[in-house]
Amino acid sequence: MNETQIIGAINDARKGICQYLDIMELFHKVDVSGNRDFQRKFNAFYRIRQRSVEWYGEYFSSMQRWKGSKPTFNDVLDHLNKSLGRYEPSFSSKLLATLDPNYPIWDKFILKNTQTKAPFYTSKHKMEQAKAAYEHILIWYKQFLGSTDGKLVVSVFDRNVSEYTKITDVKKVDFVLWQMRP
């Protein structure tokens, strides 16, 4: 990854960066369990579609309840599985990363860029495998942020995004990786 590629990724992510900053500002100001503006923006940004009313209700109520606390990925994954009867590693990570932006998200681009294998949906052990996969993502981010490439991503991001102080280093890498299609 070179500076030109990073700048290109940042430019491609500009709309998303603005959306993200708006979501995070709203997150701290409103009760997300009932605020339709926040929910609409969150759903659009993270492309959450075609879920039941009950799913949305539980998801945003959980997010609101966990404000100010420090759940882990495992806590969120287990809770959504128990309360909704669904396996939701990607949406668990997005809820967690909203509560604490020092956590990365789980999506197909992050998985590919971190060389993390997602469990098969049909696996009997997918919950445990998803927890191990997310741990792998966390380790990758820690190593990457300490590397020359990681420091370059953060430095280039900071020089090219005026509101960089409102975005964690993890989220800066997320934005660049979202745009890097391996």
Q: pLDDT by residue (tens digit) across 158-182?
A: 999 999 999 999 999 999 998 876 5
Query: What is the torsion angle, in degrees rounded to the nearest 10, for the CA atoms of residue 33, residue 37, residue 40 and residue 45?
Result: -100
Region 146-156: mean pLDDT is 97
pLDDT at residue 154 is higher than 90:
yes
Region 30-48: mean pLDDT is 96
pLDDT at residue 180 in the model: 79
Q: Mean pLDDT in the chain? A: 95
pLDDT at residue 182 in the model: 55
Distance, in Å, from the CA atom of 157 to the CA atom of 11, rounded to the nearest integer, reads 10
Domain locations along the chain: 3-179
pLDDT at residue 1 in the model: 84
**Cα–Cα distances in angstroms (integers) from residue 83 to residues 39, 55, 88, 89, in the given order:** 19, 9, 11, 14
